[in-house]
Structure 1
């Protein structure tokens, strides 16, 4: 790629950043690359350890130009790091690693059967060459323990195991994996967050004068990806296995043809459905009030589509989106990568930055969020070039520049002492708040009793009744999971006394999360400027579709599906995933919050984080974006053919079900052909029209026809080939690997019954399991919150209640 720094110190550009002075040894493969990059962007001095032959990510397409030499994926995910080369499996490397680790704060490893790390103990998450004060974080595809711990996995195989691959695809044929290895980037977000948690625990212990404890974390991509499986929540409650999303319009909307292109429209609530009818001129065929129920739209989807299609087809995309947004309907044009990189925003937000790639200026994705104080510094240096720096020189630099990180000058509170207010609605905001609750914070979710969180109204599967709380307000398994462990306060923010009450709560809070469009808080008179006046130390994380700055789109309503279409992924993939970028935004929101808290520990000042989902999306799509900006290549739908691997696909097995198989290397290919009995005496074979060895696919399919997906995967894994059954939500719910590691927990809820969900991810080795609490009923904690946070007595609370400022569940819900 570009010229790299040798062993120069990180420099003044990192001064004041949350991880300035923190040293990181990054000995990870593709699974940890984005996590290491994020740590470097937050100011850490990250040293990338590559194998002697170079990292496998260097061979990952897309490449700059047609020469196939400079990987844009490597250049993007390994920027801001110094590079060295070592044989991590060799005993002879132990002393060099020990010298590097002597002055190191964090060590990241991705140990596996094919790429072992010398001195690594998978049971205890120990490195025998790491000093006691270093934080060790091990990231593996399936976990270091459990019955499937030895299985190999790639991005394709991991998505199959987590139930994500099987969620979308054509009506007939194999399901289709998300392109660009984005889910491994999603793992990297949680890696970086876990390291902030670990560093906070280390500093808190030091401040408290506690005996030094060994701090380590063992993260499983399987658990992290499973936590983003939206369908798992419904199955755990109703045993419903949803049908594959085929890209067709469903009860919640979808992609529609217009006169000059495609748009996506989403109607998850009755209010949005009614607004869409207004946009369409209230056609008589859809006038029946029962169409407001998602279950009715599901049953009569073909009829609905026949009426709506010609009405939208007569309008332009811009006309539809403009009118839909004015009516409050989440919507977007289905963009190409060219559209996304030139649209306003993200261009008006300054998201894209010009970087030097092999002597050329190329537009690259910028930070996943903006902040009022500097938290990130991107592209200080290019990804390291081979042969890399001298390990001895790096070790000497670190030795000579001790002490390391500057100590915080303000109190370092544990998460268990933090107070968080959340206007986090729907998925991204609610889940971000719930993760902070998982970490021990006292999180108070604020809902409007007249217009509660839309997640409460997610339609249950056909034949399953709507669940209601005693007050009459509906709830759902999705609401129950995304609002686990929080407390509930119902405030009518149109009431001046509720506004005053909210501002008093803000004075006591450490963090505020909202997922409104910018005009909502401003309309209540409590925009960030006002909140910062009330509490100058407040960390305010605001999640919106298009951010607080830029064009008029700043006020557009956005859901994960509209973001998917806006940033070009729907066109590249063929499917408008409704939740993928919600989880990406949620992960970056939690990361931003913990990074801002670390910065506040040093400065004592609050920080406003403006997280636009379109920016967070672009941050994990870096290689796809760079392929367009550097090469002018739009993404090509390649199905399950993984670029850079020798062979990959998803195929049916005997009886029913699918299996994902990926031969990354020539050795994998020969192991695969040998396992299925198609070994050949020569490596020069005739190829068919698809570029495959003639006869191989038929032989493989015949072998699979006699075996179940799990049986075939076990046999291929035994031969050393990455393979996994394409699991559905039921498979994931009873997955032996997740169950054996305690990564699925079941929580009691007074109205929903038992809610199954993925266990909290950001847990340190040795910490007791933190069992989530069931989601609260609307307003159920009003009295206790006002008493504990504001010390209000019975008479004061009764007066506020009488004024309508806040609502308790013994009142009757009047919505729907």
Structure 2
């Protein structure tokens, strides 16, 4: 079955995570995506981290499936003109270069909408397209620090800690995807495209909603609470069993009563210190220490069995190698295997949204640098001799096959 975005044409001029994540998501659900990369270098993330079969970096692979790839020199006027021809036939352009970078190639929204008024131009930047910091570069770690996310992450008596996943990049990519789909819906009524402008900054502001609300309500900035939730609820945090770590996520009075039953501490149910979340939080040091002492006496499996039977959320703190063996992931098709022609296969995360009538799918492996240059340019009217001439002059590059990448001197993360 065709995906819900079947027939949508997307051009991506993006690097690293946020922009490629957005266009990959559109491609997962049926859009035809063409990724434009630099000749000889490509997307910097091609060189970041361990790779599949020694030739395909995991960082690049995880955001670039379901795309065709071309290699073009955008600094060459002929190369920029070729990409403009592609965009003139596209529904969406996704860009996460620095604000203003594509304008130098004549690929900014104001110029492109003149010849394609239905174009949805999605820009993802560090700080957004306006404001005093609009042209300042930013990346995931930078923005975790700038927006205060790191000030909330880590143990109370320790230093700030980066969140493990690339939360700023991925959230910005999600917001961009939502923005594109909102613009598509609006175009159904108006017939016109528009600019979608989002940023790593605004993605994080959306994630910090409850923390910002607390700040405005109390005047006090939230601080690090370790594994505990906002406010330091002593029954909503990690505890160490005798053979490993687990979390108990008890957040209401009913769950607290059931927790007391499992822990054989019925006196806590009537103790006036523990009658509500707020009072339990007020006495969090005593209660958390008392729970920790009990949990430490039994193995993780014991507590998982008893808390599950009582209806209290409890989970082991899985490592990723343990997570991927969970039956639930198999049942939900959370992992997919993709064939890399001539090499073997690779496994990666699957599609997060299941649609009953128009499901998405993984149809294309992440492209080799310049893999589809020739076929894409043929589709917009160039002949084989035209393409050969452009390649000879360094305007475009065609598929060089799988080969271990040589990391460019300026490629870093």
TM above 0.5, one fold? Answer: yes
Deviation of the 1:815 alpha carbon = 6.1
Question: What residue number does 2:229 align with?
Answer: 642
Question: What residue number does 2:411 align with?
Answer: none
Question: What residue number does 1:52 align with?
Answer: none
Aligned-partner SS, 1:575: coil
Deviation of the 1:769 alpha carbon = 5.9
Alignment of 1:358-757 (within 5 A): 415-460=5-50, 467-468=54-55, 475-551=56-132, 553-573=133-153, 574-577=160-163, 579-643=166-230, 647-655=235-243, 657-680=244-267, 683-684=270-271, 691-692=283-284, 697-698=289-290, 701-708=293-300, 710-750=301-341, 753-757=344-348
Aligned-partner SS, 2:134: helix
2:260/2:268 contact within 8 Å kept:
no
- The alpha-carbon distance between structure 1 residues 604 and 685, as it changes in their structure 2 partners (threshold 3 A), is closer
User: Aligned partners of 2:135, 2:349: CA distance in 1, in Å?
Assistant: 33
Alignment deviations for residues 164-186 of structure 1 (CA, whole Å, 9 cap, x no partner):
xxxxxxxxxxxxxxxxxxxxxxx
Aligned-partner SS, 1:518: coil
User: Aligned partners of 1:648, 1:437: CA distance in 2, in Å?
Assistant: 38
Question: What residue number does 1:795 align with?
Answer: 385
User: Aligned partners of 2:109, 2:183: CA distance in 1, in Å?
Assistant: 15
Deviation of the 1:498 alpha carbon = 0.5
User: Aligned partners of 1:459, 1:592: CA distance in 2, in Å?
Assistant: 30
Deviation of the 1:446 alpha carbon = 0.7
- The alpha-carbon distance between structure 1 residues 695 and 778, as it changes in their structure 2 partners (threshold 3 A), is closer
Name whichever of 483-492 and 799-808 sits farther off.
799-808
Deviation of the 1:768 alpha carbon = 5.1
User: Aligned partners of 1:670, 1:814: CA distance in 2, in Å?
Assistant: 60
2:10/2:33 contact within 8 Å kept:
yes
User: Aligned partners of 2:270, 2:260: CA distance in 1, in Å?
Assistant: 11
Question: What residue number does 2:364 align with?
Answer: 773
Alignment of 1:115-134 (within 5 A): none
User: Aligned partners of 2:75, 2:152: CA distance in 1, in Å?
Assistant: 43
Deviation of the 1:420 alpha carbon = 0.5
Question: What residue number does 1:367 align with?
Answer: none
Alignment of 1:256-335 (within 5 A): none
- The alpha-carbon distance between structure 1 residues 565 and 814, as it changes in their structure 2 partners (threshold 3 A), is closer
Deviation of the 1:689 alpha carbon = 11
Deviation of the 1:794 alpha carbon = 1.4
Aligned-partner SS, 1:611: strand
TM-score, normalising length: structure 1: 0.45
Deviation of the 1:426 alpha carbon = 0.4
User: Aligned partners of 2:342, 2:359: CA distance in 1, in Å?
Assistant: 28
The one of 349, 364, 368 equivalent to 1:758 is: 349
User: Aligned partners of 1:483, 1:576: CA distance in 2, in Å?
Assistant: 25
Deviation of the 1:519 alpha carbon = 2.6
- The alpha-carbon distance between structure 1 residues 682 and 613, as it changes in their structure 2 partners (threshold 3 A), is closer
Uncovered stretches (5+) of structure 2, i.e. residues with no partner:
154-159, 275-279, 409-413
Alignment deviations for residues 210-238 of structure 1 (CA, whole Å, 9 cap, x no partner):
xxxxxxxxxxxxxxxxxxxxxxxxxxxxx
Alignment deviations for residues 230-279 of structure 1 (CA, whole Å, 9 cap, x no partner):
xxxxxxxxxxxxxxxxxxxxxxxxxxxxxxxxxxxxxxxxxxxxxxxxxx
User: Aligned partners of 1:610, 1:595: CA distance in 2, in Å?
Assistant: 12
User: Aligned partners of 1:696, 1:594: CA distance in 2, in Å?
Assistant: 45
Deviation of the 1:779 alpha carbon = 0.6
- The alpha-carbon distance between structure 1 residues 535 and 695, as it changes in their structure 2 partners (threshold 3 A), is closer
- The alpha-carbon distance between structure 1 residues 751 and 666, as it changes in their structure 2 partners (threshold 3 A), is farther
Deviation of the 1:697 alpha carbon = 4.1
Deviation of the 1:694 alpha carbon = 5.8
1:746/1:757 contact within 8 Å kept:
yes
Deviation of the 1:488 alpha carbon = 0.5
- The alpha-carbon distance between structure 1 residues 515 and 618, as it changes in their structure 2 partners (threshold 3 A), is same
Deviation of the 1:643 alpha carbon = 4.2
2:97/2:124 contact within 8 Å kept:
yes
Name whichever of 756-765 and 426-435 sits farther off.
756-765
Uncovered stretches (5+) of structure 1, i.e. residues with no partner:
1-200, 205-412, 469-474
Deviation of the 1:466 alpha carbon = 8.6
RMSD: 2.9
Deviation of the 1:629 alpha carbon = 3.6
Deviation of the 1:798 alpha carbon = 1.7
User: Aligned partners of 1:548, 1:730: CA distance in 2, in Å?
Assistant: 40
1:421/1:512 contact within 8 Å kept:
yes
Deviation of the 1:608 alpha carbon = 0.8
- The alpha-carbon distance between structure 1 residues 441 and 689, as it changes in their structure 2 partners (threshold 3 A), is closer
TM-score, normalising length: structure 2: 0.86
Deviation of the 1:625 alpha carbon = 2.1
Aligned-partner SS, 2:322: helix
